Amino acid sequence: MKGLALMLPGASVFPRVGLGSFLARGSASASQPLDRIANEFTLLLPGEKEMLDQPVHVTRIALELASIDFEVGGVSKTLKVGETAEGWKLLTIIPLSNGAQVAVLEKHATHQGVVVFLTTQRELTRMPKQVGDLSKIKPRLADAPHEAKFKRPKHMHPAPDQLGDLILSSNEDPCYENVAALGPEYAGWTLVSDDGVGPIKSLWLEADGSSRELADSPIASWAPDATGKRFQPSWFLPNAYLYAYKAGFSKRTMLGGFLPAADIGVWNAENKVGYEVIMVLSAGPERKPMARIRATLPADQQPASHAEGHATDAHFGDGIIDKYWNCTPEEFWNTTLGLWQRWSSLFDQQIRVEIPDPWLLQAAKAGIVLTRCSYRGLEPTYQIGEGSYTKIPEQSHALFPVAHYEFVWAQQLWNLSREVEPHFQNYLTRYVLPNGNFLYNTQDQVEAPLNAGVFLQNSARAYDYTGDVETLRQRLRVLRPMIEFVMARRRYTKRVFPASDPRHGLIWGSGEADNGDTSNDTPDSHLYYYQNAAWIWRGLKEHGRCLQRAGTDHSDKELSDEGSRVSEEAAQLRIDVERSLRTTLDSRNPAMKQAGITPFSAFDTTREPTDLLGYENHRYMADWWTADWGDQDLDLGHQRHRILAGRQVLGMNVCIASDYGANSGTLMTANFMEHGTLAQRIRLDDYRPFLLTLYGNLCYAMDCGSRYAPEDALIPGSYPGEGDQGFWSAVVNSELQPTMALRWLLCYEENDQDVVHLQKAAPKHWFGAGQRIAVENCPTRFGAISWTCEADSDHVGKGWTVKLAMTKTLESTAQIVIHVHPPDGGSLRTASTGEIRGNSIVIPASAIVGSSPLSILVS
């Protein structure tokens, strides 16, 4: 079979025109359950949650004796550092600067673990970890048979998205368990960093826990074999060859699920030994790396001292080696405690989220953490950590506007508008030229003018979420020349081209940085792309609305009048673009009209429906979708084009790497713009295609544990170092896909109507008996929303209680739409408040008074 190597006995290809295979439902395969694997990143076996949540107490801490009096489950025991009771191991005792002492204990379950920090008065915190029993580490799909497999084709040809059809034609909603079961994982590096550290002092760890960076030595650059890596686990392992890393037997995770600290487990199945490496950066200006190594001893080995000078305070017990590198145990765990408390506080003080899929929640948080760590102070970046796009001092790719707008946008959605505002303002002040152009556009590449529109929308959202008018006024000093710069390009097309020409009133300029040349940036250099005009319209529309709102809020007539002028410019631009679209749509050849394909540019009228360039597939249509022009037929026209061209797999865009000079046949997804696909799909009535794209991206275009997400993922089963250097560079946009997606899944604001959707793409199994969704302080332009949705434990997923509260009274025209997807696929019958429409409850503004919580019973 040509195309993807899909092994489906007796299966048919699903050729479709119209909306395409992504809306396939109820085919013959629906009666066959999908293969599933467990998500071992968050899996707890029966009784293990209770075991790891077990209350523990310390009644005495004796630092000088390195011992504590410990109570758990009715058992009292004196423990010395390195000793274990009821599975709890005392790792160290931390003396704090205020005189208090903290006992650090660790316990492991099958796939998970926990570290608890205790004083004699209370438990300070309980930090989860995703490395448990080392002997359970194995490659994904190591022992699971599958009817369908996702693997690299020897020769890639455009083909239908049969894997996506397989999922969407079943009775199951897409999730990790059924999407990851199809193929091998991406094995990425793991970042060790901290907020604002940037690439210079960050480290990347390989799959075996060793650092990519060489030892800090004057001869490292010319004698790397003599100096070796900056860190290697083998230094601390007896007979290190026994622990040799075998491909796939590595569990790469972020400590705590989202901290910028590596927690990597490795298992050698042949010799039945393994080890765990946890690495953090110290606080303060030094930012030295520090590691803890936990290793199992070979059955016939006795504890012995190794790597003299590298490790301190090694403890041996129960066949486990416990050593520390470049620090004392007290220093290591004190730093880790501070790291966990600081990053947890960043999220918990602004927005709290609880969902039945903690792995997805960790991915969303990880995106924010990794990108904040990759900024050098306030200075922007495109690269996560160090890589091919690293530029210091910041220039070229580090200033990529697409990366910075998504960095700001994603944090705004997670109620971090105030925290990200200094980064936003720094970029505007330092990297937008006095004439309103991006500094990036005057270096080695020229990006799409549409970015100005996204910056305008980010500015409007910042005011909507914070009400900070002084900061808005500060931004206006830069936003005004940005508007003038793009509107001058519009005035040119209105002056040069008659109204009958589809270019009349559009915005001239590049469509993508790789296609833009600083020596060739003229009105004739590029096609006239509709996504540029659509995003400038969107930005002007939101900016004008924002200024009028701020003017009303603060009795500032000048702001209101400026907002009115901007809104009028947006309205006139809309008229010109609508006219241009009608002209171009009417001029399409018969094949394009029959297929219902949407044009990318003013003269895109003569192509075959199966012709689709890589940048058109992953960039141009993505930009169109994020702009939200508001015409679903045009949105779906691009989706039809992708499907007819056979450039989609598991809901993700597909490029053939040979399009970019790589080996013929290599399958690639350029996931740095996948938020465009997600933006289009969250607006569909059917939520399952959104989930397919999301979990496809999570399971194949990033490392499932370390969240390493390259700009262009070779799929499936790739790794950093395969292909062109740009392909495997982890970048800001790619890391933030789950961050933006989970927010839209839980809370999506319609752009052009006063409607907020809650739980619009939540899968059916999240509404099963006893399940709970809870969000506190989620920002919207109508005020912060808090809600819970709890399934009755005795109704087998057929009854729910929704509690809803807002910080402001809704405007009279506004609605909140609460989506509930019963596990049995049935329909909602009753709601104590609101109107049922399909599987949603529409709550009018009149039902929500002030901040009083509203309770809704649903069945």
> In a 3-state reduction of DSSP, which class is residue 311?
strand
What CA–CA distance (Å, rounded) separates 557 from 560?
A: 5
- Using CA atoms, how far apart are residues 749 and 757, in angstroms rounded to an integer? 6
Task: Please check whether residue 780 lies inside any domain of the structure.
Answer: yes
Residue 662 confidence (pLDDT) above 80:
no
Q: What is the pLDDT of residue 660?
A: 52
Instruction: Give the residue from 129, 150, 183 where a domain finishes.
Output: 129
Q: Could you tell me the CA-to-CA distances from 796 to 218, 765, 771, 828, 831 in Å, in that order?
A: 66, 11, 10, 14, 18
Q: What is the pLDDT of residue 207?
A: 98
pLDDT above 80 (res 414): yes
Angle (CA) 204 237 127, round 5°: 55
The torsion angle over the Cα atoms of residues 65, 69, 70 and 76, rounded to 10 degrees, is 130
Using pLDDT thresholds of 50, 70 and 90, give the confidence band for residue 813: confident
Q: Is the peptide bond before 393 cis (omega within 30 degrees of 0)?
A: yes
441 φ/ψ angles, rounded to the nearest 5 degrees: -75, -5
Three-state SS annotation for 317-377 = ECCEEEEEECCCHHHHHHHHHHHHHHHHHHHHCCCEEECCCHHHHHHHHHHHHHHHHHCEC
Six-digit token string for 107? 């316990």
- Contact, 854 vs 824, CB < 8 A? no
Q: For the chain, how many structural domains are there in total?
A: 2
Letter for the amino acid at 321?
I
* Rounded distance between C-alpha atoms, residue 523 and residue 510, angstroms: 9
446 lies in some domain: no
309 pLDDT more than 80: no
Please tell me the predicted confidence (pLDDT) of residue 147.
65
C-alpha span between 573 and 313 (Å, rounded)? 69
Q: Are 291 and 279 in contact (CB under 8 A)?
A: yes
Q: 32: helix, coil or strand?
A: coil
- Report the pLDDT value the prediction gives residue 724, as an integer from 0 to 100: 83
Q: Which of 754, 857, 749, 757 is nearest to 817 (CA)?
A: 757
| 149 occurs within a structural domain | no
Element (H, E) at 296: strand 289-296
DSSP 8-state code for residue 639: H
The per-residue pLDDT of the chain, averaged, comes to: 91
Q: What pLDDT does residue 149 have?
A: 85
The whole-number pLDDT of residue 659 equals: 55
Amino acid, res. 726? G
- Per mean pLDDT, which range of 156-170, 464-478, 559-573 is the poorest? 156-170
- CB contact at 8 A, 549 and 560: no
Tokens of 649: 């797999």
For residue 262, the model assigns a pLDDT of 98
E strands, 409-525, where?
none
What pLDDT was estimated at residue 57? Answer: 95
* Per-residue confidence band for 319, with pLDDT thresholds at 50, 70 and 90: confident
**Alpha carbon distance 651, 24 (integer Å):** 12
| Spatial contact of 618 and 655, defined as CB atoms under 8 Å apart | yes
62: three-class secondary structure by DSSP: strand
561-573 per-position pLDDT tens digit: 999 999 999 999 9
- What dihedral do alpha carbons 277, 278, 281, 283 form, nearest 10°? -150
Instruction: Give the residues across from 223 on adjacent strands.
Output: none
Tokens of 53: 């949540």
Average pLDDT estimate for 792-820:
86
- b/e map of 171-209 (b: 16 or more CB within 10 Å)? ebbbbbbbbbbbbbbbbbbbbbbbeebbbebbbbbbbbb
Which residues pair with residue 95 across a beta bridge? 101
35 part of a folded domain: no
Task: For residue 19, name the pLDDT band (cuts at 50, 70, 90).
Answer: very low
The predicted-structure confidence for 210-223, as pLDDT tens digits, reads as follows 999 988 888 877 87
End-to-end CA distance of the chain: 46
Per-residue tokens: 628: 């939200």
pLDDT at position 727: 86
Cα distance between residue 706 and residue 204, in whole Å: 11
Q: Which residue has the higher pLDDT, 592 or 309?
A: 592
Q: Is residue 825's pLDDT more than 70?
A: yes
Q: How far apart (Å, rounded) are the C-alpha atoms in residues 268 and 243?
A: 6
CA dist 51 and 664 (Å) reads 51
Instruction: Determine, yes or no, domain membership for 666.
Output: no
pLDDT tier at 8, thresholds 50, 70, 90: very low
Q: Report the pLDDT value the prediction gives residue 795, as an integer from 0 to 100.
A: 55
Instruction: List, in sequence order, every beta strand (DSSP E) within 686-784.
Output: 713-714, 747-749, 755-758, 772-778
Helix runs in 75-148, H state only: none
Let me know if residue 759 belongs to a domain: yes
Per-residue pLDDT at 99: 83
- At residue 317 the predicted structure's pLDDT band, cuts being 50, 70 and 90, is low
Q: Is the pLDDT reported for residue 658 higher than 70?
A: no
pTM recorded for the entire structure = 0.94
> How many residues comprise the chain?
859
Q: Residue 665 — pLDDT band, cuts 50, 70, 90? A: low
The CATH number of the domain where 850 resides is what? 2.60.40
Last residue of a domain, one of 72, 106, 129: 129
| Residue 144: pLDDT band with limits 50, 70, 90 | low
pLDDT at 15 over 50: no
Q: What is the pLDDT of residues 166-208, one digit of tens each?
A: 999 999 999 999 999 999 999 999 999 999 999 999 999 999 9
Select from 81, 102, 129 the last residue of a domain.
129
Give the structural domain span for 758. 753-858
Q: How far is CA 320 from CA 84, 128, 159, 299, 485, in A?
A: 11, 20, 51, 11, 64
For residue range 320-335, what is the model confidence (pLDDT) as tens digits?
A: 999 999 999 999 999 9
SS3 label, residue 551: helix
- Taking 60 as the threshold, does the pLDDT of residue 832 lie above it? yes
Structural Rg of the chain based on CA atoms: 28
The answer to the question of residue 662 being in a domain is no
Asked if residue 727 belongs to a domain, the reply is no
Euclidean distance between CA atoms 561 and 846, whole angstroms: 31
3-state secondary structure of 2: coil
pLDDT at 307: 41
